[in-house]
Amino acid sequence: MLEINTKLTEKTADKLAYIQTQTQEEINQILELAIDNYYQKIKGKQKTSLELLEESGLIGCISAEPDLSTNYKSVIGEGLESKYDHC
């Protein structure tokens, strides 16, 4: 358990008192809920690797054989041969 000692502005203290009056909850419960909500809000903004790749436009940006991941060396080799055969 973490013990926190902090000072609140009068405005924030008034808000906390209002919340406590309306909910009849202890201050530690109110703070736990507030921290939980803030945590979820921040965590929800973080994007997954897949979301970042989708936004970058890299996913699906080329047309290729469905088995390219297993035969990419031969495909690249053929492409280079055709490119440099014409030179």
Q: What is the pLDDT of residues 18-58, one digit of tens each?
A: 999 999 999 999 999 999 999 988 887 788 888 888 888 87
The pLDDT, as a whole number, for residue 20 is: 96
Q: Rounded to the nearest 5 degrees, what angle is found at the Cα of 19, between the Cα atoms of 14 and 5?
A: 65
The pLDDT, as a whole number, for residue 72 is: 84
57: in domain: yes
In this predicted structure, the answer to whether residue 65 has a pLDDT above a threshold of 70 is yes
5: in domain: no
Q: How many CB atoms lie within 10 A of CB 8?
A: 11
Q: The domain containing residue 21 runs over which residues? A: 10-84
26: in domain: yes
Residue 87 binned pLDDT confidence (cut-offs 50, 70, 90): low
pTM for this prediction: 0.50
Spatial CA neighbour of 23 closest among 83, 32, 8, 66: 32
Domain count, the chain: 1
The pLDDT, as a whole number, for residue 41 is: 87
